[in-house]
Amino acid sequence: MTTQIEIDAPIQLCFDLARDIEIHTRTVWKHTRERAIHGVTSGPIGEGETVTFEATHLGVRQRLTSKITAYEEPTLFVDEMQKGAFKRLRHTHDFQERDGKTVMTDVLEFEAPLGPLGFLAERLVLKWYMRRFLEHRNLELKKLAEEMVQRQ
C-alpha cells in the first residue's frame, strides 16, 4: 500500500520530523495511546537503531519493535518489524523535493499471521485500517511541518 502527501516545507525538516519518536507518538491517533518503551524512545531514530512501541490497535494492546534497515538522509529511511503482531512489516519512507515542496511517500508492506485467517483479515480490515492510520499521521505531520515553517 502506498500513500503520498505534499508538504510545503523543506525536505530536511520533513525527514527529521518523520523519524522523531516523540513526534511520531504525537501525530498518531490519540485513542491508540501509542508510546515508545524501549530502544530509541525520544528524538530522532537513525540507521541501525531500534524502537519498541506499545499501542492499542483494533482493541488489542500490543508491542512492535522496528529497526531502521536503510537510511539515506534526507531522502529515505526504512523500518522493518523485528518483533510484533505481523508476520512481516516493512515501511519505506521516501522524501523528494518538487517545486520547493516535499513529497512524502510511504510504502507499507505487511503480512498478517495465521495463514488463511490472516489473509482474510488483511483484505477485510487491515489494509483499510493501516491506510487510514498512515493518512492521519501524515496529515498531522504536514500540519506540524507547515506551522513550523510559518513561525520562522
pLDDT tens by residue, 82-115: 999 899 999 999 999 999 999 999 999 998 887 7
Residue 142: all three cell numbers together: 504536514
Residue 128: all three cell numbers together: 483499510
Instruction: Measure the CA–CA gap between 34 and 24, rounded to whole angstroms.
Output: 9
**Whole-prediction pTM:** 0.93
Cβ atoms of residues 70 and 93 within 8 Å: no
pLDDT of 66 over the 80 cut: yes
Mean pLDDT of 46-63: 94
In what side-by-side order are the strands of the sheet with 35-39?
A: 2-7, 101-111, 88-98, 76-83, 60-72, 50-57, 35-39
Residue 15: all three cell numbers together: 525527514
Q: Which helix (H) or strand (E) holds 135?
A: helix 127-151
* pLDDT at residue number 133: 96
Instruction: Measure the CA–CA gap between 5 and 138, rounded to whole angstroms.
Output: 7
Tell how many helices (H) and how many strands (E) occur in the chain: 4, 7
pLDDT of 13 over the 80 cut: yes
Cβ atoms of residues 1 and 108 within 8 Å: yes
Instruction: Give DSSP secondary structure letters for 102-124.
Output: EEEEEEEEEE-SSHHHHHHHIII
